[in-house]
């Protein structure tokens, strides 16, 4: 059946993909390691096998979003290689061999230098800046959505999917909860998402990197978070986080009013400066 939904240029033949071992499970289906073969060249890939029971409307959205993702090319964004568009949908992605950032951080606790932590934050900030320069709001920035390619390279993973589907449906139906502890107050209160709410979330991601994979607001229940924020509380500094970095988060990135927060390019610049400072020490 010829469907003109603009996804034809990203279609790949299922025969060109060989599935290998299971590497993870997500809300849309399982993720396998795989080999993609094109013109006799074999590439290791990650293949997301979308659950066949996904609603047809959701499948359409997944395909559309895969198309959007395919156009984003950045060193710190996991590349969308292509899709096998018939049921079950296979999303063929660049493989990040070292897996989830959160696990990597907690697994290497104590062994990661501040230089590496700032490098990771910097790389991811350039990815979000790139998305923003393309007028794309991510809405789900968190360490759980970043993957590790090698010891010196992290990437934002396939963000498109959670955004393509109705945000409430994704989090309330499939995951059972909104990522409250990562959200900007206006996102919690009014479901408002913008580049400024991405900036708040990026601040939480920076915090997570220095906390080595600990989740923010531990010991605080979701219903209390927004009240704590309104009262002026912010996640407290972890020992690894340079004081100047934490001050920047508290006084600028986590400004209650969205318009008072810096833009992403400002965060990139600050992280660049911190990198320079660390080199001089």
Binding-site ranges for ligand ADP (CB under 6 A): 23-28, 31, 46, 78, 93-96, 99-100, 147, 157-158, 161
Q: How far is the CB of 281 from ligand ADP (least distance, A)?
A: 34
Burial class, 6, CB count within 10 angstroms (exposed 0-12 / middle 13-18 / buried 19+): exposed
Q: Which is nearer to ligand ADP, 58 or 158 (CB)?
A: 158
Residues 6+ apart with CB under 8 A from 39: none
* CA 207 – CA 252 distance, rounded (Å): 14
Q: Determine if residue 51 is labeled as part of a ligand binding site.
A: no
Our CA dihedral for 223, 229, 233, 238, rounded to 10 degrees, sits at 80
CB atoms within 10 A of CB 88: 14
Question: Nearest residue to ligand ADP, using CB?
Answer: 26
Put the strands of the sheet holding 80-84 in their side by side order.
Answer: 17-26, 29-38, 41-50, 90-94, 80-84
- Closest among 214, 216, 215, 206 to 274, alpha carbons compared: 206
Q: Which is nearer to ligand ADP, 26 or 242 (CB)?
A: 26
58 is catalytic: no
Q: How far is the CB of 27 from ligand ADP (least distance, A)?
A: 4
Q: Which is nearer to ligand ADP, 92 or 268 (CB)?
A: 92
* CA 17 – CA 84 distance, rounded (Å): 9
Q: How far is the CB of 116 from ligand ADP (least distance, A)?
A: 19
Q: Which is nearer to ligand ADP, 69 or 118 (CB)?
A: 69
Q: How far is the CB of 48 from ligand ADP (least distance, A)?
A: 6
Which one of the listed residues 8, 58, 75, 140 is annotated catalytic? 140
Residues designated as active site: 140
Residues of the binding site for ATP: 48
Residues of the binding site: 48
């Amino acid at each position: 059946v010829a469907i003109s939904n603009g996804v034809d240029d990203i279609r790949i033949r299922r025969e060109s993909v060989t599935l290998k071992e299971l590497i993870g499970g997500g809300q849309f289906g399982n993720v396998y390691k795989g080999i993609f073969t094109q013109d006799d060249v074999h590439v290791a890939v990650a293949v997301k096998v979308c659950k066949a029971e996904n609603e047809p409307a959701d499948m359409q959205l997944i395909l559309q979003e895969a198309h959007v993702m395919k156009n984003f090319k950045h060193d710190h964004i996991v590349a969308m290689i292509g899709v096998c568009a018939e049921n079950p949908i296979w999303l063929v992605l660049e493989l990040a061999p070292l897996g989830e950032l959160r696990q990597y951080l907690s697994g290497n606790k104590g062994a990661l230098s501040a230089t590496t932590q700032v490098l990771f934050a910097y790389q991811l900030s350039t990815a979000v800046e790139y998305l923003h320069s393309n007028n794309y709001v991510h809405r789900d920035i968190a360490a759980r959505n970043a993957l590790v390619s090698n010891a010196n390279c992290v990437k934002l993973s396939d963000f498109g999917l959670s955004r393509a589907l109705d945000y409430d449906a994704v989090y309330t139906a499939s995951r059972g909860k909104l990522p409250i502890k990562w959200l900007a107050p206006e996102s919690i209160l009014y479901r408002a998402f913008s580049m400024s709410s991405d900036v708040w979330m990026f601040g939480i991601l920076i915090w997570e990197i220095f906390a080595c994979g600990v989740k923010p607001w531990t010991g605080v229940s979701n219903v209390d978070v927004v009240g704590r924020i309104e009262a002026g509380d912010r996640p407290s500094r972890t020992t690894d986080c340079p004081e100047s970095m934490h001050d920047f988060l508290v006084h600028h990135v986590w400004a209650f009013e969205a318009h008072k927060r810096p833009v992403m390019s400002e965060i990139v610049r600050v992280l660049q400066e911190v990198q320079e400072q660390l080199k001089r020490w």
